[in-house]
Amino acid sequence: MKVNERSFLRAEMFPEESVSKGERTRAAILDSAYDLFLTQGYSATSMRQIAQKAGIALGGIYNHFESKDAIFQELIISKHPYLQILPVLQAAPGATTEEFIRNAARLVEQEMGHRSDFIKLMFIEIVEFEGRHFPKVLETVFPMALPLLQRFIAPGSGVRQDMPPPYLIRAFIGNILAFYLTDFLVGNASVPPGIGEMKLEHFMEIFMHGVLESGSQNAE
């Protein structure tokens, strides 16, 4: 048996050995930074704290990341809610757009549960960075959103043809994130009856059918 064949078989039998020490250290840095950013915020977290939590020397962290901002940028790209939600949406069945949206709402809630870490990460990006990293996130997310776009503009989808497809995608995903944002805000608060029991599918019903009765018009 050749050396490279033995190495392959060993990697198959012991998958943890196929990951290099450098990759494990890098993952430990990212995991440690993620926990610290969520619990105490970005500004209050130092590189020394990240290194200590990851179990490495402070100097060692710079072998993998040139700055704390570089760590956060990688985290915001790899752990942004869009990247978790879109694959779930793509897997949602539905012969019509309405069926798809209802099924998508159920699947997202089942798969994602109550993920306060999503919202905390978004707050850090918005409050402490003013959305500076979002263009990079968009570069990653946009190709993943194209299959959803096709479902909205497919013949017989029932979607308004006068509505630009990018608007629909933004409103659709925005409604999902709005649900998680408000769910986070009311989760531990004393709120009027019914508000805390609201589900994602209720948000999607409003997205699909609006709040006005059929045939009603706004007063001029």
pLDDT digits (tens, 9 = 90+) for 120-149: 888 888 888 888 888 887 787 778 777 777
90 shares its domain with 199: yes
pLDDT score recorded for residue 35: 94
Weakest mean pLDDT among 29-33, 62-66, 199-203: 199-203
pLDDT band at 215 (very low <50, low <70, confident <90, very high): low
- Tell me how many domains the chain contains: 2
Give the residue from 41, 56, 72 where a domain finishes: 72
7 shares its domain with 54: yes
* Neighbouring C-beta atoms of residue 54, cutoff 10 Å: 21
Give the residue from 72, 103, 131 where a domain finishes: 72
The residue range of the domain holding 110 is 79-209
pLDDT score recorded for residue 12: 47
pTM of the model: 0.68
Residue 219 lies in a domain: no
Residue 54 lies in a domain: yes
26 shares its domain with 92: no
Mean pLDDT of 188-216: 76
99 shares its domain with 184: yes
187 shares its domain with 96: yes
Greatest mean pLDDT range, 59-73, 89-103, 167-181? 59-73
CB 203 within 8 A of CB 179: yes
Question: Domain holding 34: CATH number?
Answer: 1.10.10.60
Write down the mean pLDDT value for the chain: 79
Closest of 32, 34, 77 to residue 53, by C-alpha? 32
pLDDT band at 9 (very low <50, low <70, confident <90, very high): very low
